[in-house]
Structure 1
């Protein structure tokens, strides 16, 4: 192992820091310790002006000005509500703009418009009781929603059923299709002009019920969920289109095999076509297909993407303004996530961006369709900065001057952006930036909410693994750190795809929980191993078919570094992690008995055959095609190696990493006369939330206090 490393040290300003964090703070129960932003901040349509809510009023400010105007006060809004026989509100509601003088908001399940020129409110639509998966059409405010397993519309307060499915295992319009993999977070898709509604139909009849027990009833009851496990039957999905004029639905002819993934659903600007990314079950072959929205017929396959490991489409097509037959596509086909310029006949017009960095999201275009705005890691894998690129020339310009983690909102004419960011030394700033000149004005600089808290020093640095790859690390020292003393260490680990622990963000990505543990006298260490996000396809996909192997090897690079630090008590190193991090925690103990003294693993995957199809098969293939890989990654197979103190925590209603995982591990330990500690949180799902999370923090802290 090479341990040549460089160190970047950032230390929070010390201002008479005496207050200590509490378990409730670490459990997100104290809003006062988070930076205060601007509520409901957004651009006003058609203007170089933005709005937000403050002091029970709606404020508007021109981008070229430093002085906001009050455009609507709560008392005036309440007068309008009273005229509609709607109960007044004591809090100014979040709003959406329809035009620069017309806004909407929701009150008592009613979508209400307010005309600023006339000071008149009107009821546009209603959202029925028990409506779920609501999707509001931006122009007309028609509402698509689900109730139970069926899909409905609410149009001018009238409820219209789209489906009438009696079999509850067939679900329409739900937001959990393919278990929210592939960037899917909704099940309905309004066409650009609101004339059609596309929706997912998910047939789960072939997927067994998985029992989840509800103990809140007098006699415990079963609330089964559909859980397609790796290598087993998976659900079948199709895409329907409902025509609001004819009240008819047709389905896209996506063909066989039915066990495939429908991703990247995007309407053509003309509403004549719809695009679907068809991904095979092996997840190594994507076809981007164009369908006729009126007949459901396949028009053509625009292009295909293949990989020896996996293809993971996570975004829609980004159609270019003023060029209705051209779009941008995000792909990792060259090893990093970049933009590709296509026309709707499938011709590649060019690669817009390239390099050893990742585009993390697309923010929009200028009205002429010449420039695209996006967030990317171009400066550092730890940062997300704002950029614009010329679509035809590929020239890139950075718009965010400050390091950190940025978000961006574009004005309608793209002349200005709202740049909201935090960083290692900034809790929150909001800037208004002139895209043309690059000059910025400060809209908000939030006060440091932890200025009076006693926090330890945090350092960010890299270590090289045995292959010479830089691995980013973070270390938090106790608040009263004494270099002459030796301290126990807690390694906080995740290690899996789609997540990055170390970032150029407030508290360095560590959050309150890890700083709370550091205050208890522990050195807190984290390392982003191969398999984690934002380092490119090769870095993240290195774990393919061998989850737990390279990740653990990289984590041991961090352990070896810690063992060489004079302030580390090498006999008192612990591990803590949840979900994939729980899997990693247990795996590190089982593969290295005696190296760690104690560990806490929450919601751990104990055998990947018990995990769901989409995520599990992407990274491990199936148990049938990768039997050796599944066996090697199984914690149950290795349970006999447990020599150290371990507490597993699992939530009894976990629908993500089902309870069977840790229960099977416990059963194996019983059979082998191996002792371990086990704790459950009744009724919680994949993690503990709400006030009960305070108990979780206390439980973890107490375990390390007694065993580390």
Structure 2
């Protein structure tokens, strides 16, 4: 090669045109072009130091449940491959192990019901024999193995059944189940949505008893949605939905004796109008734990029930001036003492109680929150958990002794770490991401956190994104004129010029205990925000009062007044942002979905002189229209707190609209009913206000399916470009 002087080479390089940066398109976002790789359905084995992952072979259009060794990360086998079973032509949707891990319960061909619930064809797979047996000719719900792995219980048609694996005989042990009347062992709509569980029954450790909750929905008001499909007439879908202040299901607790074939109701005490948000057998096979919550949700009793005598005893009481959150953190140790999490000192922390309910230790302490409880290692006496001790937008993994001493931080990168521990708690798989780093999976030591080996990364995605003009998400805090310090992030155009004036689109959710300002990798909305930044917009996100992970006082300040302080904070934050030298204060918009739609609606109305435009997707417009469990937790009932409901309802402020407003809803939203949008529309019409709106036929709260999301985000993008 001919020698060229360095100075001439630099001149030539400088004279070359810059490599064109690609622009993100909506088609790319919604086709999954930026989807990060994950470890699907990762499950840690209980009896061997191994884990399984559900993999997909796209070439053969098959699924495999593959087995890996924790210590080496090597794949040691494939438990099942769907290409070998014609019954699984639809693939594996999910799987669970029997307690001895010799069998699998496989769900296939699932039909979604509501947010968490589904019906499916379930199969019992014997790993050693490689045999596949269908559990029931009909699609069923929530099957689980007994403790000895000889039986499977499941729900069907609002009743409960037990299947004997050896004899293939099925016994129905509840008979009164009826649609929109009585449900046995499966939650009703509002329990599923707001207490986040579907299986309302549980096997004991001996496999001889099943505890279950019975829901009598008879007095619960019904809601009907019209589903249009392609038929000549709409199909009315009717289900029980208790709105705020209305009748809930009457719940009762029952225990079925599998051997005797008898069922008895358990008298929990002198409760009225109450919830049973959790049941769980203790390590004592004849002792059942039950959580009973009053309707205001500010008083919770943890009750132990003797399954033989039926005697129920309160062992722990938790009270709060606002509300008590329900979790799945209750864990029983070998001596039947238990781990419990509580906000009673102002922050969510871990506590250790004796089996009689006596406080033994507050294990974690500090002005920070425990965000996940991973488990207890009885070999070392260590508890493993995740917390925000290193900043409320970050997550780290820790271990600490049961006595609250010898705390060790096991993750050292700044961002979000989430752990899956090996059965012996010697190792954990850490899924780490940050706003700058797509998720990486590493094997780490549970002793000191040191990385043993990298499992998987998303370097290909990172390389791909380098070809796009994607700016860095900037984290900061905003202090409002009222003195409230709020977490925030900003996305500015990659070619940001501080001497220019930019329009700003604010995004938020703002619901109680939620968090949108997190140091974690992108979701699909982030890519949309990057796309908008390429069009010259600044995107901002502010977590106001009422959001989570900054202590109970910050979160619960909104109690009885949803939509007051959160809206104040978004308006006040917009005023602060509007004073930035590079922001055009006349061009600030806001958008949100669900609770965020409620918020953006209130902001464009109560902050009419601050916000130029707003988009509200699937918004609540009056909390009177929403369900009892969620709404009353934060608002009490409309009968008790009418002003709290009405003063912060967007419907009652429709006359204040000045800016541009886009209202979006799915007609088959079983969660936030389209009624919210219809009555908001009527209020705007009667106030003689002009606005834009879109209804998506037969779409639920998520508004997706086919090209739906692409069309919706195209609509919202065009609205922003036209109005902001």
**Would the TM-score normalized by the shorter structure come out above 0.5?**
yes
Distance 1:91 1:638 in 2: 50
Query: Of 158, 175, 185, which aligns to 2:169?
Result: 158
Report the Cα offset of residue 247 of structure 1. Answer: 2.0
**More divergent stretch after superposition (304-313 vs 571-580):** 304-313
3-state SS of paired residue (1:507): coil
Q: Residue 247 of structure 2 corresponds to which residue in structure 1?
A: 233
Alignment length, in residue pairs? 678
Partner Cα distance (1:381, 1:571) in 2: 32
> Does the alignment pair 1:598 with 2:582?
no
Shift of 1:640: 1.1
Matched, 1:264 2:265: no
Give me the whole-angstrom Cα distance separating, in 1, the residues matched to 2:430 and 2:666: 38
1:272-311 to structure 2, matched below 5 A, reads 272-298=286-312, 300-311=313-324
| Comparing 153-162 and 653-662, the one that deviates more | 153-162
Q: Are residues 1:246 and 2:252 paired?
A: no
The residue number in structure 2 matching 1:533 is 548
Match of 1:18? 21
Q: 2:142 aligns with which of 103, 117, 133?
A: 133
Map 1:504-543 → 2, pairs under 5 A: 504-507=519-522, 511-543=526-558
Alpha carbons 1:177, 1:202 under 8 Å: kept: no
User: Structure 2 matches for 1:74-473, cutoff 5 A?
Assistant: 102=102, 104=104, 106=106, 109-115=122-128, 120-123=129-132, 126-137=135-146, 140=149, 142-156=151-165, 157-165=168-176, 167-168=178-179, 169-175=181-187, 176=189, 178-216=191-229, 217-298=231-312, 300-320=313-333, 322-323=334-335, 325-368=336-379, 370-441=381-452, 442-449=454-461, 450-473=465-488
Give the 3 Å change call, closer, same or farther, for CA 630–416 of structure 1 in structure 2. Answer: same
| 3-state SS of paired residue (1:638) | helix
Who is 2:8 aligned against? none
Aligned to 2:568, the other structure's residue is in SS state helix
- Cα deviation, residue 651, structure 1: 1.2
CA distance in 1, matches of 2:48, 2:428: 13
Q: Is the 8 A contact 1:552 1:588 kept in 2?
A: yes
Partner of 1:6: none
CA distance 1:162–1:517, shift in 2 (3 Å)? farther
- Larger CA deviation: 243-252 vs 696-705: 243-252
- Quickly say closer, same or farther: Cα 1:92–1:574, change in 2 above 3 A: closer
TM-score with structure 2 setting the length:
0.87
Once residues 547 and 93 of structure 1 are traced to their aligned partners in structure 2, the CA distance between those partners, rounded to angstroms, is 38
Superposed counterparts of 1:1-16, under 5 Å:
none
Name structure 1 gaps, 5 residues minimum: 1-14
Deviations 1:313-338 (CA, angstroms, capped at 9, x unpaired): 22352111x32x20011111111111
State the distance in 1 between where 2:497 and 2:23 align.
Answer: 18
- Provide the C-alpha distance between the structure 1 equivalents of 2:598 and 2:56, rounded to a whole number of angstroms: 47
Give the SS at the match of 2:596: helix
Q: CA deviation at 1:167?
A: 3.8
Distance in 2 between the 1:477 and 1:556 partners? 20
Deviates more, 1:385-394 or 1:542-551: 385-394
* CA deviation vs aligned residue, 1:287-310 (integer Å, no higher than 9, x gap): 111112234331x21121222211
Q: Specify which of 637, 651, 672 is matched with residue 666 of structure 2.
A: 651
**In the aligned structure 2, how far is the partner of 1:556 from the partner of 1:471?**
13
Tell me the distance in 1 between the aligned counterparts of 2:413 and 2:221: 51
CA RMSD of aligned residues (A): 2.8
Pairwise CA distance, 1:581: 0.6
Q: Secondary structure at the match of 1:211?
A: strand
CA distance in 2, matches of 1:371, 1:18: 50
- Counterpart-to-counterpart distance in 1, 2:560 and 2:361: 33
Deviates more, 1:173-182 or 1:659-668: 173-182
In structure 2, stretches of 5+ residues that fail to align are 1-17, 58-63, 109-120
Q: Cα deviations across residues 541-580 of structure 1 (Å, max 9, x unaligned)?
A: 1101111111122112321222122322222111111111
Matched residue SS, 1:426: coil
* Matches of 1:90 and 1:543, distance apart in 2: 46
Higher relative contact order (CA 8 A, sep 6+): 1
In structure 1, C-alpha distance between the alignment counterparts of 2:156 and 2:507, rounded to whole Å: 41
* CA deviation after TM superposition for structure 1 residue 376, in Å: 1.4
Deviation at 1:424, TM superposition (A): 2.1
TM-score by length of 1: 0.89
1:453-602 matched pairs, under 5 angstroms? 453-507=468-522, 511-602=526-617
Structure 1 pair 132–255 and aligned structure 2 pair: CA distance change class (3 A):
same
Q: Deviations over 1:374-417 (max 9, x none)?
A: 11111111122111111124432111222222222222221111
Q: Which stretch has the larger CA shift, 662-671 or 44-53?
A: 44-53
1:256, distance to aligned residue in structure 2 (A): 4.5
Q: Deviations over 1:83-111 (max 9, x none)?
A: xxx55869799766669994636377422
Name 2:116's counterpart in structure 1: none
Asked if the contact 1:237/1:258 (under 8 Å) is kept, the reply is: no
SS at match of 2:522: helix
Where 1:427 maps in the other structure, the secondary structure is coil
Q: For residues 179 and 94 of structure 1, what CA distance do their matches in structure 2 show?
A: 19
